[in-house]
A = this chain, B = another copy of it.
Amino acid sequence: MGALVGPAVAGHPRIAALYERDQTCQTLGIALDEVSAGRALMRMRVTASMVNGHGMAHGGYLFLLADAAFSYACNSYGPVTVAQAAQVTFLAPAAVGDELVAEAVERVRSGRTGIYDVTVRQAGGKTAGKAVAEFRGQSVILAGKPLGD
């Protein structure tokens, strides 16, 4: 399913392999458009199976998209890194058919811990660029498990 991975990932075999095994993103059609040191850009289209009982995109999927971008950003350095905690603020609803982009940017690294900020935005249409959610994740490097580039 390499079609989900943008050309920018071509030079990152470790990340490409991580993405290949990422059944969550593969199944939901979450594309990895860009990845570089401490940064990742992912893209998801809201489908009919992603709505809640109020008919809006489920907040869980907005979080998941941000969390996925966060994960690729903090694993961009090599060592296996996982989310320890995260906070999200929902700013606007999203609807079926909306295409959303999540851009994760590293804010700080300190020892084994890092902080990454992710903004989820509308990718197109009349509301292109509008922020849907703001996410902040706290990462931690797992001991002794470098992925080995």
Which positions in A face B, CB cutoff 8 Å? 17-24, 26-27, 48-56, 58-61, 63-65, 67-68, 71, 75, 80, 82-92, 107-108, 110, 113, 115, 117, 119, 131, 134, 136, 138
Contact = CB atoms under 8 A, between A and B. Distances in A.
A48 B24 CA distance: 9
A49 B63 contact: no
Contact of A71 (B24, B27, B52, B113): B52
Copies in the complex: 4
B85 A90 contact: yes
A29 to B, nearest CB: 12
B91 A113 contact: yes
Contact of A85 (B56, B67, B88): B88
